[in-house]
Structure 1
Amino acid sequence: MISPPAKYPRNAVDKSLRIPKAILEQNAGKPCTVAESASFLGVGAAGPYQVEVSSGIKYGFLERPNPGQIAVTDRAKRILRPQDPQDRLEGMREAVLSAPVISEVYGHYRGENLPDSQFFHNTLIDTFGVPADKVQEFQDIFIDSLNAAELLAEADGKTRVIDVSTGSSDGGSSPTLKKLEKSVKVDANDSCFVMMPFAPPLGDYYAKIYKPAIEKAGLRPVRADAEIFGTGKIIDQIWTGINSAKVLVAELTSRNPNVFYELGLAHALEKPVVLVSSNEADIPFDLKHIRVIYYDVNDPFWGNKLMDKVAENILSAINHPEEAVLRKRE
C-alpha cells in the first residue's frame, strides 16, 4: 500500500534554505519558475527537487506569487541576510513552529524530555498520523530541524524540548489545547486530583496554576486538604479523591514523601497522572519513561506556560492514557 503524500516537510529546515539562497544570489531575489531555480543550482527540476520546493513552502521560505512561479519570503531573507544578531535564530524558530506536523509534535512535547524511541514511534503514528513507513524519516527531520532552531537541549542522556512559548496570558486556550478539546470527551462531574505539598511556595501553585489549568481543561479540581474535604481521616479522603478522579496531577518538586505515597496509590489503580517538576533530579529513575512537564521559575512566563501545558497534558492523558499510566508488568 502506497502512503499518502506527507503533510510534513520532507527536508530538515536548514536544508530547505538551499533554493531560497540560490534565488537570492543568482536571481537578485526576484520570482522565478521552479525550473529556473533548479538551473541556478545545476540540478534537474523533477522528483526530489519538487519535494525540496514543497518543504521550502511548508517552512514559509518560499511562496507562489503567481501560477508557475516561486519567490523568496521575508522569513527566508531574515535568515539568509540577517540585519540583527537574532534574525537567523528567530526566523528558524518561526519556520519550525509553523511547519505542518512538526509544529504539532513540538507543541505536544515542549517543556518535556522526548520519550524513548518506541514510545515516540507509537505516538507519531497514533496521535499525529505519521505513516509507519515514514516514522524514521520524520524523526530525523524533526530532530535535525529542532536542533537547527536551537529547540533541543541534551542533559543526562535525555533530549529536552525547549518551550519558547509565552503562554496564554489572556486565559485563552493554546492551539494544542484547542485541538485536544475537539477529540477528548470530558463530563461535568469529572475530577482531577492534585497531589502536591501544601506549604509555600509549592503549595501556592494550586490556586495560581493547577486549579485554573484543570478548569481550563474542563475538569473539576480537587486537592486533599481540610479546606476541600473537611473532617475525617485524611488517608480515606485521599483514597476517595484518587479513586474517583478521571486523571491526576502530581507536583514532584522537592520529592515530598506524601506526594510520592499518593502517587503510588494512583499508579496501583492504573490512573493516568500528569507529572510535573522544576527539577529533573527529583524524578526517580522508575518514572522517567512517563511524560514529565518541566518548568523553570526563572523564566518570566513560566506560570502561564505551565498552566497551558498542564491543561494540555491532562486532556492528552485522558486521550492517550498509555503516556501517563504506570502499567503493571505482566
Structure 2
Amino acid sequence: MTLFDQLGKSPDSGKSRQLVTNSTKYGLSLGSYSAEFLELTDDGLAAVSDEASPARQLRARFRCAVANIDVFNKLYESYLNNRLPSQAVLIDKARELGVPEGDALECVETFIVNTKFIGVLRSVGGAERLLGVDAVIDDYLPKSGSSQRSGIVKSDVRAGSPAAAPPEAQHSDTDGAGYDDACFYISPIGDEHSEARRHADLFMGALVEPALSEFGLRLVRADQIGDAGMITGQIINHIVHSKLVIADLSFHNPNVFYELALRHAVRRPIVQISRLADRLPFDIGQIRTVVVDTTDIYSLVPQLDSLRAQIGAQIRAALEGAEVENPLSIFSPNFWSSMPRS
C-alpha cells in the first residue's frame, strides 16, 4: 500500500494488479498483488539501480525483457546480428514458435518495444538490427570511469565487437577460403553523419541487403573490417575472393573506382548501382547498372520494391553467368593471357 501510495495509484485497481503481475512475470519483482510485501529480484534491482554499472544494468534488463521469456529469446536468437525483418515475417515466426494466432501481433509489438527500450535493437547501416549484448556494451555504453561516450549512438558497428564484422571478415588468407558466402559491398562511406555515409547506409539497408537475402550471401562492407577509406589486405581479399561484389558508384568516389578495377582484374561477378545524379564514366557506363533516382523521397519510396527486384535480377544474372564481362574483357580480351608469369 505504501508503494502504490507513492505512485499515486490505488493498490486494488485492475491496472495496479496488472503492473504487479507483469513485473513478476518479467522477473523484476517477487510477490503477487495480494502479498503484503513486494521486493525486487537481483536482476530487478540491477535493472533500475543508479549504482549498478551500465554493463550490469543492460545485462539485467536484457535477461528480464528478452532472455528469460522463451518466445522473445527465440525471436532474438533467430535474427541476432541481422536486420530486423518485416512485422509480417516476425508474426509468422511467432506463430511457428507456438504463439496463438490472436496473440502473435501483440507478441511481436512487445518484443520490438522491449528490445528497443533496452538498446539491443538499433539503427545500424541503414536498417534496424538486433545486436549482441556484448556489442552494445562495447560500442554504445559509457566505459567505466568515462562519461564522454554516454548517450552516443554510432551509425555503424565497428570492428572489434562481436557484431562488428561477420565471420568471413576475420579471414586473412589469400586462397579464397571463407569467402564463398560473402558479398562484398563497395560503397562510398565517408565520415560518420556525412551525406555519403547516410547514402551508403540507406542503399545498404533499404536496397542491397533485402535484394541479397534470397541468395544466402552475407553482406560485408569495408568499414566493418577496417578504417573507412583505407585499402587493407582484408579488403583486397574480399574484393578478389568474394563470391559477389556489389559496387555503388554514387558520388564518383576514387576508392570505389579503384576497388572496382581490382575486381575487374580478377573477372568475377559484379553488380553495379548508382544514383541518377551521378553520370557514369564511359568505360563503366556501358555495363548494366541499376540507377536510383534519389532526388525526390515521394517518388523514391514507392519504387523501393521495384529497385530491390532489379538488383535481385542483376545478382542472379551475375551469379549464373558463365562469362563475366567488364571493360578489360571487352577492350583487352588478351589481358589475362598476356600477363607475365613468374
Shared fold (TM-score, shorter chain, > 0.5): no
Q: TM-score, normalised by structure 2?
A: 0.40
Bigger relative contact order (CA 8 A; separation at least 6): 1
Q: TM-score, normalised by structure 1?
A: 0.41
